[in-house]
Amino acid sequence: MRADITPKNLQKLQPQSKPYFLRSIRLRGFAVKVNPSGSIRYIAETKFKGTNHRKTIGQYPTMSLDEAKNSYLAFLQSIRSGNHQHKQKPSITLEELFNNYTSSLDLKESTLKDYSMVIPHYLSDWMNKKVSSITKQMIEKRFCLIRDKGWKRGKPTYSQATKVMRILSALLSFAQADDLIEANPVDVLKQKRVKRSIIKRTSYLTREQARKVSQSLSTHPVELAMSLMLYTGLRKNEALSLQWKDVSEELITISDTKNHRPHLIPVTEQIQIIINSIPTTSSPYLFPSPVNKQRHIKDVRATLKKLEKATGISFRCHDLRRSFATRASEVGIDYLMIKRLLNHKSNDITSQYIQWDSKQNLEKMREALERVTY
């Protein structure tokens, strides 16, 4: 992105999920780098006698724009006069980077567990390597190995190869933001157009199937949670981790959501029936683990197998969420309302102005939920 770098434009800069540059249209080679952490750094870069040179001059707003421009001009002069000496970048291992990344970011417990199982396993022989030594060739070779032959006598797995590189890319972008590396080597997969996309599941229950499953659900905690998913569109973990303090006569409040935005669900008559069927215990959770009442149920595989045997219908918990969204569309609920009921983020600026926690909008959400029947 190119623009005139002014104090006014610097104040407008906002961090994004990946680092990005704003390059000056007036001073060629003068730029600012905006990191995901929010830090903004002045950058000087030039090419002289076939060699690329780049230097971080200082940080905004600690250093003024005029000071940064003067430092930029001094940097150019030092390069052209041959007086510039390269400063060696700090170097850390992949294991150190992984620890820095996971400790400095507010990752969910499930995400941290996933990362800790994937990276140390599939990249075990890289953990003691310097991050700066990881090359594009290494990335491409490891991706293909996991995908086509399997790692450590394991089965070839396209999904795991994709997941490893997605997480590794995030780690290396983190390193890039701290100027530990110049570029992210995982980008080679995108540059070579290596297929990495996962085919999205589209399975859902038709109205008739959903009714059959709903009628077969008992008062078993997992089955009650599934019933709640079917009538609210909640994700599996959102439903299973519900606590009694999150439930009132009028609202269910989901605080720990995928997009980190609190989700309010008005309690309809059907939802209230499900809640009333849940036995109260000493546990803070609606669906406590039978092993430890201070934790919630996590494994639902046995219940899914039982329901498949009873109904002849095979499904996953996320199919219930797709079934809810599909049924909501079938009964005529508008698209924006369905997005809100699912707590999906919207890139549309106007929709971001709508405050869904207003009394009138919560009532509209309740009316929409009441229309979702099977």
Parallel/antiparallel/unpaired status of strands 251-254 and 263-266:
antiparallel
Sign of CA dihedral 154, 160, 162, 165: negative
User: Which pair of structure tokens corresponds to residue 217?
Assistant: 């659900």
Instruction: Provide CB contacts within 8 A for 215, sequence distance 6+.
Output: none
Higher pLDDT, 61 or 346: 61
Per-residue model confidence as pLDDT tens digits over 54-87: 888 888 998 999 999 999 999 888 888 877 655 5
Residues 220, 237: Cα–Cα separation, whole Å: 17
- Phi and psi at 188, nearest 5°, equal -60, -30
DSSP 26-95: SSTTEEEEE-TTS-EEEEEEEEETTEEEEEEEEEETTS-HHHHHHHHHHHHHHHHHT---PPPPP--BHH
- CATH code 3.30.160.390 region(s) in the chain: 2-81
Query: Is 207-371 in CATH node 3.30.930.10?
Result: no
Quick one: pLDDT at residue 320? Answer: 97
Domain 94-191: CATH class, spelled out: mainly alpha
Among 307, 338, 302, smallest CA distance to 209 is for 307
Among 103, 100, 91, smallest CA distance to 181 is for 91
Given pLDDT bands bounded at 50, 70 and 90, which one contains residue 231? very high
Residues 281, 290: Cα–Cα separation, whole Å: 11
Quick one: pLDDT at residue 219? Answer: 92
Quick one: pLDDT at residue 82? Answer: 75
Domain 2-81: CATH class, spelled out: alpha beta
Higher pLDDT, 55 or 367: 367
- CATH code 1.10.150 region(s) in the chain: 94-191
Residues 312, 331: Cα–Cα separation, whole Å: 26
Q: Is-cis flag, bond preceding 288, omega within 30?
A: no
Higher pLDDT, 85 or 327: 327
Per-residue model confidence as pLDDT tens digits over 152-178: 989 999 999 999 999 999 999 999 888
Unique residue bearing structure tokens 């680092």:
19
